[in-house]
Structure 1
């Protein structure tokens, strides 16, 4: 049976345009009532990474979140908005985005995901001791509301990656530490989370997104689309193709291929995109980072220092706030004598430090391997 991915044009975040586009993108899927029923508790899971100004396009736009909440209310269900940022105060994020005001006007709650609970054992799951927020497990339905962004570790953050937000707060960093340097293993973790949460509907905010050094310090880019599907992985694979991204470079694709996921085949997914030219873009700026997985184990220390890309401090931009130190899952950063120091032998290149830096003061020094691969067109 084919999965369906629906795409429509949406030029901006005008409330009328957003509602019109939402109705259009959900119509081929049966409309909102195909996913929520009267009386159900429905978790709306946006990307609430950090309290940046909306024009930086770091978070799912609150106009979209509000419109989806209104649709769920009209269906007679009981929505609530929730996420669990890794480091930033949740109350500050919802205030900056205006979601606290929106929730108050709608008479619904907006709250931080807490109270981790173990998921039921699953023979397919690679990670057997996974815990996710209780609200995500106990909701009658989950509507996943990701933002279209590039990602310095996973290349893209779309539907499946957005569900990493149901891992509670600092436990995200713990998982990065446990998974280590393997992007494909981290992608397998994301697949297990997606399977555990099993969102009934994913709606991608691609009106404005981010390219370059996402998910927080990239450059805003206008894409002008909304996308929706019952299947988050099918949506992600479709968007990867539409963005002109090579699937072989996408860790989520590689991990899903190892599992034999049917969503990877183009003929297994029906794409409905009236009036949208394919590909959507041909010049998306992606982060180009070397991978330690390509190298033999005995070269690990040497490669981490010289061959693969590494995070470096921009001394002029850095305010020494210490957020990067607190988020690092392997404790490889220190502030010594008013400067950041990196232990590159321990660094696993998860780029959490870059993700949480509010000043864009952590950049990347390309390693020799990344330069060579770029030179030969890889």
Structure 2
């Protein structure tokens, strides 16, 4: 019997073939200030004047107290509302954090990616993996070194190196820190029915921290990312990516993280948490709280979490819950909830 199609493909062909198929489905265009999409396609952009939610749920699970990593991930996803948003046949982008070829927690653990991909398959979705690593670095090489490619191949799902993909210009009136309020986003991202972010809690030498919101950098065209880092306003630009590419769910694998340094190397810490939410701002707030509890640098360890520039800008533009009072902690023990509340303010 012949092996399945993806198993017959070589590694490079697997990536390129998957990318070609996804790119062919991506027919996004822009017209003036509004993005047009094919009939039935899901727009990931927030409204021109988004309203912060009255409450956002963040699931909090201690993996050390769970029978397995899969059980911890499944419980976090369930507490965050589950995968009921996936309809049969929906394409679901699994967006890992693959900023380099360094292993977890610098990048997403391939085991966690497999677990979430299986959940998507069980929900009837069609998952695929896509990312763009650091500018001038090979995403293909990073996928191979981190085990992300093997994880995707084991489930016979596409794994896309986005530097080979076409780009769409997406404008949002609130993206005031981007040239002409326009972001260049890879088309396969926009073509997906849903985005699920898979991030880790890390400090970041330029952006202060990288979790749910900053993980979206990998969907921005490489050349635009170079300009993104120039001049002032970097952290505000990072927050504004969520205006045009809001995830349906984000999972934070905080069994380990970086307390200082980052994004690809840093001082390790062990927050011991799996968290999940449909709100990237609320998830980042809880992730920052866990980093502070575990011990982190002065930049994010002092003052209010909500005063960090990326957090402040995200709250201003309505990305999600804009205060600790608006965050509902699901699954946290009384002791954890009390500690988190002190940090969340």
Q: Does 1:220 align with 2:268?
A: yes
Return the offset for 1:130.
1.2
* Stretch moving more, 236-245 or 66-75: 236-245
The correspondence for 2:198, drawn from 138, 145, 158, is: 145
Aligned partner (choices 123, 147, 166) of residue 98 of structure 1: 147
Q: Classify the secondary structure of the residue corresponding to 2:108.
A: coil
Separation in 1, partners of 2:287, 2:320: 16
Unaligned runs of 5+ in 2: 1-53, 293-300
Shift of 1:24: 1.0
2:99 to 49, 53, 66: 49
Cα 1:39–1:243 change in 2 (3 A) is same
Determine if contact 2:211/2:284 at 8 Å carries over to the other structure.
yes
Shift of 1:59: 0.2
Shift of 1:70: 0.7
Deviations 1:157-216 (A, max 9, x none): 110011011112343112212xx1x2xx22221222112011100111111111211112
Q: Which residue of the partner structure matches residue 39 of structure 1?
A: 89
Q: How does 1:1-378 map to 2 (within 5 A)?
A: 1-11=54-64, 17-32=68-83, 34-52=84-102, 54=103, 57-86=105-134, 87-113=136-162, 114-119=165-170, 121-126=171-176, 127=178, 128-177=181-230, 180=231, 182=232, 185-244=233-292, 245=301, 246=303, 247=305, 250-259=308-317, 263-275=321-333, 277=336, 278-279=338-339
Instruction: Please state how far the C-alpha of 1:260 moved relative to its aligned partner.
Output: 6.4
SS of aligned partner of 1:136: helix
Q: Structure 1 133/254 Cα, relative in aligned 2: closer, same or farther at 3 Å?
A: same
Secondary structure (helix, strand or coil) at the match of 1:31 reads coil
In structure 2, how many angstroms separate the alpha carbons of the residues matched to 1:217 and 1:68? 25
Aligned pair in 2 of structure 1 residues 78, 260: CA closer, same or farther (>3 Å)? closer
Q: Distance in 1 between matches of 2:323 and 2:149?
A: 41
Does the 8 Å CA contact 1:5/1:227 hold for their aligned counterparts? yes
Going from structure 1 to structure 2, the CA distance change for 1:66 and 1:39 (only over 3 Å counts) comes to: same
Aligned residue pairs total: 272
Give 1:328's aligned residue: none
Report how far residue 89 of structure 1 moved. 1.0
Structure 1 runs of 4+ with >4 Å offset: none
* CA–CA separation in structure 2 for the residues paired with 1:82 and 1:176: 22
Q: CA shift at 1:73, angstroms?
A: 0.7
TM-score by length of 2: 0.73
Note the alpha carbon deviations across 1:205-258, whole angstroms, 9 max, x for none: 111111211112212222211111001011112322343333265221232354
Deviations 1:310-335 (A, max 9, x none): xxxxxxxxxxxxxxxxxxxxxxxxxx
Q: Is the CA contact (8 Å cut-off) linking 1:35 and 1:201 kept in structure 2?
A: no
User: Is the 1:62–1:98 contact (alpha carbons within 8 Å) kept by the matching residues of 2?
Assistant: yes
Tell me, in whole angstroms, the C-alpha distance in 2 between the residues paired with 1:235 and 1:49. 20
Does the CA contact (< 8 Å) of 2:96 and 2:113 recur in 1? yes
Who wins on radius of gyration, i.e. which is larger? 1
Assess if the C-alpha contact under 8 Å between 2:203 and 2:259 holds in 1. Answer: yes
Task: From the superposition, tell whether residues 49 and 262 of structure 1 become closer, same or farther in structure 2 (CA, over 3 Å).
Answer: closer
CA RMSD between the two structures: 2.4
TM-score of the two chains, using structure 1 as the length reference = 0.67
Bigger relative CO (Cα 8 Å, ≥ 6 apart): 2
* Partner secondary structure for residue 255 of structure 1: helix
Gaps of 5+ in 1: 283-378
